[in-house]
Structure 1
Amino acid sequence: MIHASLQAFSSHCARQPLGKGPFAIVIAEDATELASTLDHLTHLGFRRIFLLAPDDVDLPDHLADPDLIDVIRHPTRRPGTAQAAVNMLIRLAPGQWLHYCYNAEYLFFPFCEQRRVGEAIAFVTEERRNSVLGYVVDLYAEDLSHHPNAVSLESAHLDSSGYYAETRRTTDDDVLDRQLNFFGGLRWRFEEHVPEAKRRIDRPALFQAVEGLQLREDNTLSIEEMNTYSCPWHHSLSAAICSFRVAKALRTNPGSRHDIDNFRWHKSTRFYWSSRQLMELGLMEPGQWF
């Protein structure tokens, strides 16, 4: 179903509630790999996908299961509109689990090749947690002369090292318990082209829409416990969001595109679209889930 705006979608939900999740929200900034992003979420087992896209973004001709996808026309390129859209959907889906991403981004959680997202959520819920921290892992094409927008599923590469974390503090300089600011990937290697506020790679990968929750502009949640990387007593499951978004932006923006002719370096490695590879590189954690 296609909705003319977020307001139209909200009115529709008042008449016909969304039902049971988990739900995925895709924020389409353009049409790049939009079909593969939607197909990936469908295969992971999301019960419904909400696609937010401007009027000038063409919808894919073929989708894995078009009945699962609601299209919401929305100006996703304006600053702050992504957070506003996610926050509206939080209010429309109380108690349900959500994931949000952009086009050309792909959610991975431990053992996702054999297990559905509902199974991961069930495990996290048993551990009395209502969020899964994610790390945005930058992907980029091997050869920019063949893929000038840096996007290629077949030759995708990622950085195998260069990731680090810093203590997260409040505005009063108090240390936040079990919270860290994570950095790495292209935002670290090409930081001169990335605003400081956009350099972090941590983002909530899955979270429950609890009452009063808000997604903030810095991609943290307003309930601090939901931003923690683990529970107090042991390591918790985490996820990775494998993303071409930064590479594409660096190759598109006038201030950086002429300075970058290759993203590869001596720590680049081919991405095999495997949760095991991400775990072996330390880019996500199975916790106590075996």
Structure 2
Amino acid sequence: MRYNDLADFLQNGTEALGVGPIAMILVEDLVEVDTCIRHHMQLGFESVLVFAPDELELPDKLQGLISRISYDMTEDGALQTVVNSIIEATPNIWLYYCYNAEYLFFPFCESRSVGEMIAFSMEERRSSILTYVIDLYAGDLYEFPDAVSLEDAHLDKSGYYALARQDAANTPKERQLDFFGGLRWRFEEHIPAARRKIDRVALFRSKKGLKIRADHSFNDEEYNTYSCEWHHNITASICSFRTAKALKRNPGSTFDIETFRWHNSCEFEWHSQQLLDLGLMEPGQWF
């Protein structure tokens, strides 16, 4: 179904909000939108909501399987407006969000569904799953000047680190860390400080009063933790061309970057085992 705007969807599209998990794909440009949609459909999301500009064209068959909402994701505060509106409309439903040209991977996702992962997390009394945004980039920027290529995708195999997250009194928050790495770390001179983190709480259970903030954290601090108090929990990865696209699109950085490859680059194998082996996500107690 297609809806004129967010208000139209919230009034007339509630059937798509009845059963979770629900994926929200926030379309900022027209790059790799269809592959992003298909990837998340294959993971087992019950509904896929696509917030996209009107100029986006999708195959009729694919468009018939999603809820498409006309929306300009370049507006200020678009992330909070969209996600918080869906949270308010769907209490006690598991939600996920990403941008186009981003692809969710979780432990054993080739043989297990996202619903199975969520069910296990709920058994551990968790209402959120931490995800790391792992930068993807084309190996050859002369052949792929927008830095996007599914066939020539690369990622950094090392260079990731975490720092304690401080509260307003400069005291470390319990079970919260700020994670860094990838292109946002290597090219940090082109990235505003507030956007250098790579952690994102992209999978979570909605509830009354829950709000997402501009830095991808929530107003409920327990949602922002990487694990429960008694052991490590599942984490997942969102493999994303978003930063590479931005660095090559921005006139202030594009001419400074001839390649994103360095000695710690490797080809992305599009398989969860590679991400597990590199330590870019972990299964926790899920075997």
Counterpart Cα distance in 2 of 1:41 and 1:3:
21
Which runs of structure 1 show a deviation greater than 6 angstroms over 4 or more consecutive aligned residues? none
Q: Is the 8 A contact 1:159 1:267 kept in 2?
A: yes
Whether 1:142 and 2:142 are equivalent positions in the alignment is: no
Distance 1:82 1:74 in 2: 11
1:13 deviates by 4.1
The structure 2 residue matched to 1:189, chosen from 186, 210, 216, is 186
Q: Which of the numbers 104, 109, 112 marks the counterpart of 2:106?
A: 109
> CA offset at residue 251 of structure 1?
0.3
User: What are the superposed Cα offsets for residues 105-139 of structure 1, whole Å, 9 maximum, x if unpaired?
Assistant: 00011000000000000000000001000000000
TM-score (norm 2): 0.97
Deviation per CA, 1:19-39, whole angstroms, max 9, x where unpaired? Answer: 111000000011100000000
Shift of 1:62: 5.7
Match of 2:31 in 1: 32
Displacement, 1:17? 6.8
1:9 alignment partner AA:
F
Matched residues in 2 for 1:32 and 1:13: separation? 26
**What SS is found at the alignment partner of 1:100?**
strand
Q: Is the 8 A contact 1:137 1:185 kept in 2?
A: yes
- Amino acid aligned to 1:60: L
Q: Tell me, yes or no, if structure 1 residue 8 matches structure 2 residue 5.
A: no
Deviations 1:191-224 (A, max 9, x none): 0000000000000131000111111000001111
Compare 3-12 and 102-111 and name the one that shifted more. 3-12
Q: Secondary structure at the match of 2:253?
A: helix
CA drift of 1:18 comes to 2.1
Does residue 270 (structure 1) correspond to residue 267 (structure 2)? The answer is yes
Hey, what's the Cα distance between the residues in 2 that align with 1:99 and 1:140?
Answer: 23
**Match for residue 171 of structure 2?**
174
**1:61 aligns to 2:59 (yes or no):** yes
- Residue 246 of structure 2: SS of its match in structure 1? helix
Please list every run of 5 or more consecutive structure 1 residues that lacks an aligned counterpart in the other structure.
none
Task: Please identify, of 151-160 and 17-26, the stretch whose mean Cα deviation from structure 2 is larger.
Answer: 17-26
Offset from partner CA, 1:85-117 (integer Å, 9 cap, x none): 011011111111011000000001100000000
Choose the corresponding residue for 2:122, options 120, 125, 129. 125
**Counterparts of 1:5 and 1:211, CA distance in 2:** 23
Asked if the contact 1:35/1:62 (under 8 Å) is kept, the reply is no
The root-mean-square deviation of aligned C-alpha atoms, in Å, is 1.2
Which residue matches 1:71? Answer: 68
Which of 158, 162, 185 is matched with 1:161 structurally?
A: 158
Shift of residue 55 of structure 1?
2.2
How far apart are 1:73 and its partner, in Å? 0.5
Q: What is the 5 A alignment of 1:241-260?
A: 241-260=238-257
Tell me, yes or no, if the aligned pair for 1:47 and 1:68 is still in contact at 8 Å: no
Matched residue, 1:22:
21
Does the CA-based 8 Å contact 1:165-1:182 persist in structure 2?
yes
How does 1:40-51 map onto structure 2 within 5 Å? 40-51=39-50
Distance 1:90 1:81 in 2: 14
1:233 — aligned with what? Answer: 230
**Equivalent of 1:208 in 205, 208, 215:** 205
Q: 2:47 corresponds to which letter in structure 1?
A: R
CA contact (8 A) 1:158 1:271 kept: yes
SS at match of 1:94: coil
Q: Counterpart of 1:91 in structure 2: which amino acid?
A: E
User: What per-residue deviation string (whole Å, max 9, x for no partner) do you get for residues 123-160 of structure 1?
Assistant: 00000001000000000001000000000000100000
1:23 and 1:126, CA in 2 relative to 1: closer, same or farther beyond 3 A?
same
1:251-290 Cα offsets, whole Å, 9 max, x none, are 0011111111100000000000111100110000100000
Identity of aligned residues (%): 54
Give the letter aligned to residue 20 of structure 1.
V
The alpha carbon displacement at 1:59 in A equals 2.5
CA contact (8 A) 1:215 1:221 kept: yes
CA contact (8 A) 1:235 1:288 kept: yes
Question: Would you say the 8 A contact 1:26–1:100 is kept in 2?
Answer: yes
Unpaired stretches in structure 2, ≥5 consecutive residues? none
